[in-house]
Amino acid sequence: MNTGDKTLDVQVRSIDSVVVVTATGEVDMASAPRLQRSIEDAVQGQSGVLIVDLSGVGFFGSAGLSVLVLASESEQVEELRVVASRVVRRPIEVTGLDQAVAVYDTLHSALAAEQAS
């Protein structure tokens, strides 16, 4: 699945039975609903680990934080892992959301955590 416009591109794929939602661009009030829908569609009818890869995000507003909170509270998501650039990591840490979700520097490290669990 690929949805996108000039501000946000979202890709969904499965890697070793882990759902990975990758967003590139800006996550703001206008684009956050698209990211939310993509996550909901990706986990519908299944449960397990969800990785949201935001390493290609250049702007991450409060609406993006709300999307992550909703994903972490979803009954289909047993564990939420977030791959975060510095731009994304800062608001996650400031709000304390990093206490509720695991934050990684790379997709590789987030996937490797799956091997360890």
Q: Please give the average per-residue pLDDT across 77-93, as a whole number.
A: 96
Q: What CA–CA distance (Å, rounded) separates 65 from 45?
A: 24
Whether 65 contacts 97, CB under 8 Å: yes
Helix, coil or strand: residue 61:
coil
Question: Is residue 70 pLDDT above 60, yes or no?
Answer: yes
Q: Which CATH superfamily is domain 41-117 in?
A: STAS domain (3.30.750.24)
> In the structure, what pLDDT confidence band is assigned to residue 107 with cuts at 50, 70 and 90?
very high
pLDDT at 3: 46
Q: Where are the domains of the chain?
A: 41-117
* Confidence label for 1 from pLDDT (cuts 50, 70 and 90): very low
